[in-house]
Amino acid sequence: MNGELGPFIKLFYRHWKWMALGTLFGLLTITASVGLLSLAGWFISATAAAGLTVATAYLFNFFYPSIGVRLFAIVRTAGRYAERIVCHDTTFRILESLRSWFYRHLEPLAPSCLMQYRSADILNRIVADIDALDNLYVRVLSPSVVALLLGIIVLSFLWIFDPVIAGTAFLFLFAAGFAVPVVAAKVSEQTARQLPLRTADLRVRIVEGLQGLPELLVFGGHHRHLNNVEESNRALLQSQLQMSQIRGFSTALITLLSGFAVLTVLYLGVDLVNRDVLDGANLALLGLAVLASFEAVLPLPLAFQYLGQTREAGHRLLEIVNSEPAVSFPEKSNPEPVQFDLKFDQVSFRYFDDGPLAVSEVDFHVSHGQRVAVIGETGAGKSTLVNLLVRFWNPTSGRILLGGNDIRTLSESDLRGYVAVVSQQLHMFNSSLRENLQIARPGASEGDLRQALDSAQLIDFVDSLPDGLDTWIGEAGKLLSAGQARRLAVARAILRDAPIWVLDEPTEGLDRITEQQMMKVLHGLTADRTVLLITHRLVDLHSMDRIVMLERGRIIEQGNHEALLKGNTRYAALQASIL
């Protein structure tokens, strides 16, 4: 438990004052409940006994007990309200801290270490698994402390009247507050641990089904996928049913223990009454005090029953958090580059330790202000070079130099500022055009945004929209065409104003005319900048200063357009095949 939940308990420490306050209100509420029921029982019994004769009725003071009953009722109500407010506020503070902490650990792992996880599964860990950790404070830690302290208070109170009754009541409370929760946790551990896994499996299947619904419908696979969703749902319901059965059994067991405790206390108390050690009203007080004290231990079996779920949720979060990032950045660049040329120096890389080389001994130089195209078939290793340049991964061997400095000596903020990437896999957020552009430069003015859109030849389209820059573009930019999304990505790069541009398949998915227009725009925008063009399409390559051709991760030839056409080269053969 320490290994799975210990790190989270340490995170709770910053909120210990709020946690202590919520626990204090919980203890005050339960104590008032015990006081209310026991005093009310004593008051009724004592009043009945006093009414047997006129003399005792006349002498009986019913004002103070009635004040006590009202006071306990008010404290119980106010305490319960305060406990709910403070405990829920504390829980939300804890969840906020947990999500921020998890995201801080998650961000350095992207994308290299997160490739093995489904996006829906990561989302489920961020939401459902972190939510499951709220059980740790509001259902386990706080109620356990309240039950322990109340047990001590009740034991001390009963001890005043009779040590045997006090010890007997405490044994029953101990059995209900410790033995039953431990048994419930043990019996339900395997099922409780399955709950987060089955919940995640169901959500992943649903999300993937929604994302791939068009393909499922086209290929007739929606019925099979629906069956898989129903199977996951049945498995989750089965686990929930088992947990409900265990909960019902533990609740019934505590109810029986509370009944036996009251009967035992009454049995022992009757003897004391017969011996004139105790009067009848005090016997009612003791019996009802014991009965009311079980309110403190009633939620514990359920809390410990779901402790396995909480532990599994903690394990799933730590599984990601404890992953080692594939790259780490220095806090400050040392030294900062003076010029912005690129050098791939005998770079080799494999994605998996036992996998094949994605690129092997790649060696070429891009001078400052030069345009170099890296071409090759799909899978040749072109996009891998981009991933290495932006340090999503580090080379297995070799190095990449920027301005003569190894990029591993650059801070993350500096590297991101030096290199602007128009990615092959564009992502547009489900927000406005303005917010999608301001990702590149937060706080960019209206004029800056319009100038970037004008340079990307998208301003006329934006001006034609009723809401202009505030137009919502839908999830993944579905309300934009492929060409518009590409131009918007170019506008982002313009706003970034980086000295190095990496264009990874910038014309992918565009028709020939739009493709030529886009390349013309890009050539105009990248004047005096270092440009690395990644493409498998032989379009407008005559304007590039040099062409590097990859095959199976290796450079097979390089040179300018004219020189490659003159020789007996693969490039010349490819150009001839498209004429």
CATH code for the domain of 274: 1.20.1560.10
- Shared domain for 111 and 256, answered yes or no, is yes
Residue 239 located in a structural domain: yes
Residue that terminates a domain, selected from 259, 286, 321: 321
464 vs 471: CA distance, rounded Å: 11
For residue 76, give the nearest of 25, 29, 26 by alpha carbon: 29
Q: Which of 150-154, 500-504, 509-513 has the lowest mean pLDDT?
A: 509-513
263 vs 573: CA distance, rounded Å: 98
| 3 state SS of 358 | coil
- Side chain identity at residue 545, one-letter code: D
Taking the CB of residue 146, how many other CB atoms lie within 10 A of it? 25
| 3 state SS of 44 | helix
Beta bridge partners of 364: 344
- Shared domain for 508 and 406, answered yes or no, is yes
Angle at 150 between CA 146 and CA 152, to 5 degrees: 125
Predicted confidence at residue 56, as pLDDT, reads 65
Taking the CB of residue 268, how many other CB atoms lie within 10 A of it? 17
Higher-scoring residue by pLDDT: 178, 486 = 178
Question: What is the mean predicted confidence (pLDDT) over 370-392?
Answer: 89
Residue that terminates a domain, selected from 321, 350, 378: 321
- Side chain identity at residue 467, one-letter code: D
Predicted confidence at residue 571, as pLDDT, reads 80
Residue 336 located in a structural domain: no
Cβ proximity of 553 and 362 under 8 Å? yes
- Shared domain for 231 and 362, answered yes or no, is no
- Shared domain for 376 and 272, answered yes or no, is no
Distances (CA, A) of 453 to 149, 285, 463, 486, 491: 66, 80, 10, 12, 5
How does residue 572 score in pLDDT terms, banded at 50, 70 and 90?
Answer: confident
For residue 348, give the nearest of 402, 405, 393 by alpha carbon: 393
pLDDT in tens, 231-268: 999 999 999 999 899 999 999 999 999 999 999 999 99
- Shared domain for 303 and 355, answered yes or no, is no
Question: What is the mean predicted confidence (pLDDT) over 531-536?
Answer: 87
Residue 76 located in a structural domain: yes
- Shared domain for 353 and 295, answered yes or no, is no
Q: Where are the alpha helices (DSSP H) in 419-559?
A: 433-437, 446-455, 459-463, 482-496, 512-525
Token pair listed for 88: 């829920």
146 vs 23: CA distance, rounded Å: 7
The answer, yes or no, to whether residue 476 has pLDDT greater than 80, is no
pLDDT in tens, 56-88: 666 667 788 888 889 999 999 999 999 999 998
Residue 326 located in a structural domain: no
Number of domains in the chain: 2
Half-sphere exposure of 42 (CA within 13 A, CB side): 21
Please report, rounded to a whole number, the percentage of residues in the chain having pLDDT higher than 70: 97
Q: Where are the alpha helices (DSSP H) in 407-445?
A: 412-418, 433-437
307 vs 244: CA distance, rounded Å: 14
Question: What is the mean predicted confidence (pLDDT) over 513-526?
Answer: 77
- Shared domain for 282 and 349, answered yes or no, is no
Question: What is the mean predicted confidence (pLDDT) over 469-489?
Answer: 82
The answer, yes or no, to whether residue 576 has pLDDT greater than 80, is no
Residue 573 located in a structural domain: yes
- Shared domain for 11 and 160, answered yes or no, is yes
Q: Where are the alpha helices (DSSP H) in 219-295?
A: 222-274, 280-293
- Shared domain for 221 and 255, answered yes or no, is yes
- Shared domain for 388 and 287, answered yes or no, is no
For residue 31, give the nearest of 292, 258, 281, 259 by alpha carbon: 292
CATH number of the domain that 362 lies in?
3.40.50.300
Cβ proximity of 554 and 384 under 8 Å? no
pLDDT in tens, 392-444: 999 999 999 998 899 999 998 889 889 988 887 778 888 888 898 888 888 88
> Phi and psi of 218, rounded to 5°?
-65, -40
Token pair listed for 226: 């629906």
Predicted confidence at residue 57, as pLDDT, reads 64
How does residue 3 score in pLDDT terms, banded at 50, 70 and 90?
Answer: low
Cβ proximity of 323 and 113 under 8 Å? yes
Residue 111 located in a structural domain: yes
Predicted confidence at residue 254, as pLDDT, reads 93
Residue 233 located in a structural domain: yes
pLDDT in tens, 4-53: 777 888 888 888 899 999 999 999 999 999 999 998 988 888 888 777 76
Residue that terminates a domain, selected from 268, 290, 321: 321
217 vs 459: CA distance, rounded Å: 37
How does residue 327 score in pLDDT terms, banded at 50, 70 and 90?
Answer: confident
373 vs 560: CA distance, rounded Å: 10
Predicted confidence at residue 514, as pLDDT, reads 72
Predicted confidence at residue 497, as pLDDT, reads 82
13 vs 266: CA distance, rounded Å: 44
Please report, rounded to a whole number, the percentage of residues in the chain having pLDDT higher than 90: 32
For residue 527, give the nearest of 546, 501, 553 by alpha carbon: 501
Beta strands in 350-385, from DSSP E residues, in sequence order: 359-366, 371-375
32 vs 445: CA distance, rounded Å: 60
Predicted confidence at residue 158, as pLDDT, reads 92
* Residue 201 belongs to domain spanning: 2-321
Cβ proximity of 273 and 27 under 8 Å? no
How does residue 491 score in pLDDT terms, banded at 50, 70 and 90?
Answer: confident
pTM: 0.74
> Phi and psi of 572, rounded to 5°?
-60, -40
User: Tokens 């490739």 — which residue?
Assistant: 115
How does residue 180 score in pLDDT terms, banded at 50, 70 and 90?
Answer: very high
- Shared domain for 284 and 365, answered yes or no, is no
249 alpha-carbon distance from chain centroid: 34
Mean pLDDT of the chain: 87
- Shared domain for 94 and 167, answered yes or no, is yes
Residue 525 located in a structural domain: yes
23 vs 41: CA distance, rounded Å: 27
